[in-house]
């Protein structure tokens, strides 16, 4: 594929803003804010679609530029971005919550990116339940670059068609399982059922040059409203809403990826929050859960968790993550626009 045929993503502050909104949804949901039960699901789905989109976009651009994909360099970049902050978080959480019953098992499964698989089989996590989504994404990082290298040897249509078939199969499997109460955990946590959000992101990355002319600006408010309507949904309702939420997230991400950001957007709260969203996501749960276990009111939990998570995440970025990445504070390098969760 010639380099000129590839849509150049570049730095997109609006995608940082989307990431900031996603982590806000997750934190408020986990703090048990009223009418925000389903916001966590929407936020995680937004992260999944965004991860599939950004990682695939970077790999496709590298392939167009160099004629190949350097898998070793890719995995080193992912390790530098994700592992140091996770190691610090797990070390501190293990010591701080030792008396409150944090188990070695949940630390080990979080460290090995297998917590979603263990939770799916019924092994409970007390304080690190949120690391299941990090495990899901890491499993995607592990498998997708190899598959992409093989698929790119064929035509781009073969790549898109393969992704589409897999996405439909995953979604159909989830719809079938949604009628079985015993399979609710699998619907939320298993890669074979939940991977459609990441795959949709991959599809967006493959076809963005063909889709960028569409009127995403008109569709984005409708998609955002659909996402908000999912917020008060119950767990059983969320199972059915996962696919519509995924498609709504895809529209919002396409709007952010194809729209220019004005000056005020570049400096707004959500963009700044998006740059430290990984740290906020890591730290908020062990701060909130001990209070929730003691039945502290939701507004107190929120008032403590939000500023504490922001401070710790900012310090982690400033003194650990940025130096390792060679990035500046508070503006990361262009390549770090792809950080997750």
Tens digits of residue pLDDT in 142-194 = 989 988 887 777 666 566 666 776 676 666 666 666 655 446 677 778 787 78
Phi/psi-derived region of residue 32, left when phi > 0, alpha when psi is between -120 and 50, beta in every other case: left
Q: Name which of 299, 218, 277, 293 is nearest 85 in CA terms.
A: 277
Rounded CA separation 190/192 (Å):
6
pTM across the whole model: 0.88
- Asked which of 38-47, 132-141, 167-176 is least confident by mean pLDDT, the reply is 167-176
Average pLDDT value for residue range 313-320: 94
What 8-state DSSP symbol labels residue 129? Answer: T
Rounded CA separation 50/6 (Å):
18
Q: Are 258 and 58 in contact (CB under 8 A)?
A: no
Q: Are 285 and 26 in contact (CB under 8 A)?
A: no
Answer positive or negative: Cα dihedral of 282, 286, 289, 291.
negative
Q: Are 312 and 59 in contact (CB under 8 A)?
A: no
Rounded CA separation 242/233 (Å):
11
Torsion angle defined by CA atoms of residues 243, 246, 251 and 257, in that order, rounded to the nearest 10 degrees? -160
Torsion angle defined by CA atoms of residues 123, 128, 132 and 134, in that order, rounded to the nearest 10 degrees? -150
pLDDT number for residue 264: 55
Domain positions in the chain are 3-338
Greater confidence, 7 or 171? 171
> Measured at the alpha carbon of residue 108, what is the angle toward residues 22 and 295, in degrees to the nearest 5?
55
pLDDT tens-digit profile of 214-246?
778 889 999 999 999 999 988 777 878 888 899
pLDDT number for residue 279: 97
pLDDT number for residue 175: 62
How far, in whole angstroms, is CA 241 from its chain's centroid?
18
Rounded CA separation 286/197 (Å):
26
- Alpha helix (H) ranges present in 97-215? 104-111, 115-120, 131-151, 156-177, 184-189, 191-194, 196-211
pLDDT tens-digit profile of 85-97?
999 999 999 998 8
Q: Name which of 249, 229, 230, 251 is nearest 239 in CA terms.
A: 230
Greater confidence, 176 or 279? 279
Q: Are 183 and 177 in contact (CB under 8 A)?
A: yes
């Amino acid at each position: 594929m010639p380099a000129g045929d590839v849509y150049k993503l570049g730095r997109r502050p609006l995608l940082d803003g989307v990431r900031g909104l996603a982590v806000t949804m997750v934190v408020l949901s986990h703090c048990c804010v009223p009418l925000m039960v389903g916001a966590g699901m929407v936020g995680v789905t937004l992260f999944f679609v965004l991860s599939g989109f950004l990682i695939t976009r970077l790999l496709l651009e590298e392939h167009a530029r160099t004629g190949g994909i350097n898998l070793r360099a890719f995995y080193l970049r992912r390790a530098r971005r994700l592992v140091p902050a996770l190691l610090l978080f797990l070390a501190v959480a293990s010591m701080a919550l030792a008396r409150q019953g944090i188990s070695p098992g949940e630390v080990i499964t979080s460290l090995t990116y297998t917590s979603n698989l263990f939770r799916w089989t019924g092994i409970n996590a007390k304080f690190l339940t949120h690391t299941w989504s990090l495990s899901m994404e890491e499993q995607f990082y592990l498998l997708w670059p190899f598959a992409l290298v093989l698929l790119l040897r064929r035509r781009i249509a073969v790549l898109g068609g393969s992704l589409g078939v897999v996405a439909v199969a995953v979604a159909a499997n989830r719809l079938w399982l949604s009628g079985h109460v015993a399979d609710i955990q699998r619907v939320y946590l298993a890669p074979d059922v939940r991977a459609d959000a990441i795959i949709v992101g991959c599809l967006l990355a493959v076809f963005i040059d063909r889709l960028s002319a569409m009127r995403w600006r008109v569709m984005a408010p409708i998609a955002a409203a659909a996402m908000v309507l999912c917020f008060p949904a119950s767990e059983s309702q969320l199972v059915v809403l996962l696919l519509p939420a995924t498609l709504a997230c895809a529209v919002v991400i396409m709007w952010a990826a194809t729209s220019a950001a004005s000056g005020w957007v570049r400096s707004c709260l959500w963009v700044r929050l998006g740059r430290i969203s990984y740290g906020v996501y890591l730290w908020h749960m062990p701060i909130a859960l001990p209070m929730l276990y003691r039945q502290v009111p939701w507004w107190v939990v929120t008032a403590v968790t939000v500023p504490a998570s922001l401070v710790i995440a900012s310090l982690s970025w400033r003194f650990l993550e940025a130096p390792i990445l060679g990035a500046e504070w508070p503006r990361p390098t262009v390549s770090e626009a792809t950080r997750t969760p």
